[in-house]
Structure formats: C-alpha cells, structure tokens
C-alpha cells in the first residue's frame, strides 16, 4: 500500500466481518508550499475551456445529462486537452440555447437543428462574440449584433439572450470563490479535522472542523470524504453517502469517495453497483489494493469468479503480506 494510504481505518462489517474498509481520513493534501498550483483561468471567459462540472454548475444541469447529450451527439464538448473533453465558450452558448428550448417543450430534434446551426456559425463569426444576441424572429432562431441579423434557422419563440450575459454568468458563477485568506483558514480547519478524527472522543470536534473548512472553501472534496467516514463510523449511513457524493461532485475522480460508495453498496447487498464504484476507484488509482480486493469480493457475490481472479491476483501482488492475503489466496485456490 502506498505511503499516503498508510493512515486508514479498517472497519469490519458484512460477511464474516472481513473484506471491508472505509478509508479515513482521505490522503492529506500537500502542504501549501508543495501543493500543485491549479490551472488559472484566463481573464477572458470567451477564451477559456470548461469542464462538465463547470457547465453543470453554470446552467443548473445534472452532469449526467450533459454526458448523455455528449454521448448522443446532441451537444458535444468541442475541445480536447489530453484525454479530457472540455467545453468552449461557444459550446456554452449552445448549451444555454438548448436548455431554454427544451424547458419550453420544443422537440429535441428541432432543438438539435437550431443548436447545430448556432454551433456551425459561431466559429465563423468574426464580429465580437460578446456582442451577439440569440433571439427569435418569425418562428426562427436568429443571431444578431449591432450590424444586423444573420443565419436564421428553425426554432421557437422561447429564447432571447445576449451572449454577453453568458459571459457575465461565467464570471458570477465560476469565477467567484473564497479569498486566499479564506482558503488558508479552511485548510487549517481541514488539518484540524484530520488530527481529531482518529479518536472517537473527538469525533464531534472533527466533524465541526470539517464543516468549518467547507463553509470557507466549498471545493475541499477531501473534507466531504472525511465527513462521510465520520458519519459512517457514527452510524449515519445516508449522511455518509451524501458526503461521498458531494466529494465526487467536486472531484469526480477521487478514488476514496468511489471506493467508499462501493463499500456502502456492498454492505447493502448490492454487489452490482459496488462493482461500478470499485471500478471507478481503480480507474483513478490502479494501485488501490483494497479496491482490487473488494471488487473481487463483489464479483464473487455475483458469481463471476473468472472476473474476480485478476483482482485477487493484483491484490496479492500489491499486498503480499496484507491483512486479507490469506482470504485472497483461499479464493485463488483450486475449487472443487
């Protein structure tokens, strides 16, 4: 197990009281001097790229809906950085228009036609993008600026917004955040919670510290994960699930939160959903030994021993002297 995972709390529950873990606390963030600097947004929202989480927050949409739109080709992020697909500002204009049309009951096929026309036109527009207005005239979606109207397409009389309003919303919703002082104070509260959450006598103070951290900086996903761990250990399973989910809204690739949701599913007798969560944890951290162990356990409960085998083997490769090595070896032994 890697060094950052040494400080975990093993909790026995479920079958035979083995094969279960809630990671707590989540790995500590590096000290401020060691912390990687986040990618700084540019001063111009029109030039930036936006994640699915950003767009969901900006337009009050579920991330799952945006992913569904992308998968179906309805509205797909048009920029790629590494393996990630990101939204351009032009994409934001399309999402804004599509949401308005759909909320008024316009058939999706007609919405797609309108959005496709907008997306085809915006990259070709040489006039200042922020001066554009998207509106309706004579039953068609029209884009116009101070020089006149252009590129009408089919639509409904349901949208009318300045593109500059989208830019202003980006600044208002995505650019506002805690001050540097608030972030430092939040981090101090977070570290205090990490120190206090190892002793049952100080659980309540630890929870208060994490909540104080989140009030100052709502982007501390690890604080939600640690709160979830505390809630679980205090018997508040649904509160734990809520905090793990909130952690993933902040950081959709956090392996501990995925792992813990998988654990809750396994404990609730739902190995199928447990498999999905453990797989997501391993997609983020392939060396997460306990996730391999519990994914194998979930596969065994589903009667999928063949799928479980490589994860038993990986667990033993990562943790040959681990707490559950004998269990993995037993499952790998020839079966009669």
Ranges of each domain in the chain: 3-36+177-332, 45-174
Query: What pLDDT score does 117 carry?
Result: 74
Residue 32 β-bridge partners? none
Average pLDDT, the chain: 76
Say yes or no: do domains 3-36+177-332 and 45-174 share a fold: no
Q: What whole-number distance in Å separates Cα of residue 83 and Cα of residue 73? A: 18
Strands 148-154 and 161-162: unpaired
CATH code for 3-36+177-332? 1.25.40.10
Query: What pLDDT score does 161 carry?
Result: 60
Per-residue pLDDT tens over the stretch 159-173? 556 656 666 666 666
- Per CATH, is 45-174 categorized as 1.10.1660.10? yes
Q: What whole-number distance in Å separates Cα of residue 213 and Cα of residue 187? A: 7
Give the global pTM: 0.53
pLDDT over threshold 50, residue 6: no
Q: Percent of the chain beyond pLDDT 70? A: 68
Query: What pLDDT score does 124 carry?
Result: 55
According to DSSP, residue 42 is labeled P
Average pLDDT over residues 176-194: 84
Q: What whole-number distance in Å separates Cα of residue 27 and Cα of residue 103? A: 42
Average pLDDT over residues 217-243: 90
154 — phi, psi (to 5°)? -65, 145
Contacting residues for 294 by C-beta, under 8 A, at least 6 apart: 19, 20, 21, 259, 262, 263, 266, 274, 278
């Amino acid at each position: 197990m890697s060094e950052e995972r040494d400080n975990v709390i093993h909790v026995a529950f479920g079958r035979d009281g083995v094969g279960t873990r809630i990671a707590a606390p989540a790995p500590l963030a590096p000290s401020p001097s060691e912390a990687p600097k986040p990618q700084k947004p540019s001063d111009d929202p029109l030039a930036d790229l936006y994640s699915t989480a950003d767009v969901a927050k900006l337009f009050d949409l579920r991330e799952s809906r945006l992913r569904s739109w992308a998968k179906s080709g309805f509205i797909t992020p048009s920029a790629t950085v590494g393996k990630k697909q990101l939204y351009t500002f032009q994409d934001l204009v399309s999402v804004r228009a599509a949401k308005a049309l759909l909320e008024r009951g316009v058939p999706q096929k007609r919405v797609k036609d309108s959005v496709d026309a907008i997306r085809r036109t915006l990259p070709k527009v040489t006039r200042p993008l922020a001066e554009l207005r998207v509106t309706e005239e004579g039953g068609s979606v029209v884009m116009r600026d101070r020089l006149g109207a252009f590129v009408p397409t089919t639509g409904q009389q349901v949208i009318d917004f300045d593109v500059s309003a989208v830019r202003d919303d980006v600044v208002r919703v995505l650019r506002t955040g805690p001050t540097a002082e608030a972030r430092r104070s939040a981090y101090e509260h977070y570290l205090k919670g990490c120190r206090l959450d190892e002793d049952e006598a100080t659980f309540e103070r630890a929870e208060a510290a994490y909540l104080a951290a989140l009030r100052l900086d709502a982007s501390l996903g690890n604080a939600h994960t640690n709160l979830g761990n505390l809630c679980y250990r205090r018997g508040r399973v649904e509160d734990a699930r809520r905090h793990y989910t909130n952690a993933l809204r902040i950081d959709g690739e956090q392996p501990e939160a995925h792992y813990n949701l998988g654990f809750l599913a396994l404990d609730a007798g739902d190995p199928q959903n447990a498999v999905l969560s453990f797989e997501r944890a391993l997609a983020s951290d392939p060396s997460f030994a306990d996730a391999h162990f519990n994914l194998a356990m979930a596969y065994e409960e589903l009667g999928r021993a063949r799928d479980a085998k490589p994860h038993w083997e990986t667990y033993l490769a990562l943790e040959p002297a681990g707490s559950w090595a004998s269990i993995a070896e037993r499952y790998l032994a020839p079966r009669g």
